[in-house]
Amino acid sequence: MVSVRAMHVGDLDAVVAVHREVLDMEFLSRFGPRFLRVYYQAWITTLGSVALVALEDGVVVGGLLGASDPARHVRAMVRDHGMTLALHQAGAALINPLLARDLIATRAARYVRGVARLVTSRWRQPASVAPSGPVVGEITHVLVTRRVQGQGAGRALVEAALAQMRADGVHSVELVTPPDLAARHFYERLGWRLTGERASRSGEPFLHFTFDLDA
């Protein structure tokens, strides 16, 4: 029987292990488990995050990351954890020339702009959990260990995230997934609408899905 609860710091090693197992092709995974642990820790300790784990017999078998107010959450992530995350990425890139090349080609300019904003007062506004208006929530990661895939853990995670976002006042939720990933069928099955194909800020193609909480 699968249950879902908020992700705690004590879950991080287990969630990172699942992430590396099922999303090893993802860009973030290339920075290694230490970076992923710092990333997840930053995410769950930043205001406005939605971070959940799925448990089977008390053991973590999956996780979900999202945000009720993504723009505000990203600002707070950059302000509070940007430097630590950048240092961990730089450390991993230093010992991996291919990773360094891809990091520079796809993300360096954007990251530098983020850090530049960090040192200006634009980023110094206080973070708050309350959405600033009719906001669109976001799910960024859903992952379930292969051993229990197909048994409802993914559905339970997404439904719990949607419930939390609805309680936060969110009207609709978005996510993107690579076109070649089977996850697109999972989201379609859960009632998400395919609302287009677009490139990420780093240039990779993604399918864009929306779920209307008001419907």
Return residues touching ligand COA (CB under 6 A). 22-23, 141-144, 149-155, 177, 181-183, 185-186, 189
Closest CB to ligand COA among residues 56, 102: 56
Say how far apart CA 180 and CA 62 lie, in whole Å.
21
> How near is the Cβ of 150 to ligand COA at its closest, in Å?
5
Least spacing, CB of residue 42 vs ligand COA, in Å: 18
CB of 130 to ligand COA, least distance (A): 27
Nearer to ligand COA, 41 or 151 (CB): 151
Which of 30, 42, 35, 133 shows the shortest CA–CA distance to 79?
A: 42
Residue closer to ligand COA (CB basis): 103 or 153: 153
| Rounded Cα–Cα distance for residues 5 and 20 (Å) | 21
Which ranges of 95-204 does DSSP label H, i.e. alpha helix? 97-106, 108-118, 153-167, 183-189
Query: CA 190 from chain center: how many Å?
Result: 19
Cβ-based nearer residue to ligand COA, 39 or 186: 186
Instruction: Count how many Cα atoms sit within 13 Å of the Cα of residue 12 in the half-sphere of its side chain.
Output: 16
Closest CB 187 distance from ligand COA, rounded Å = 8
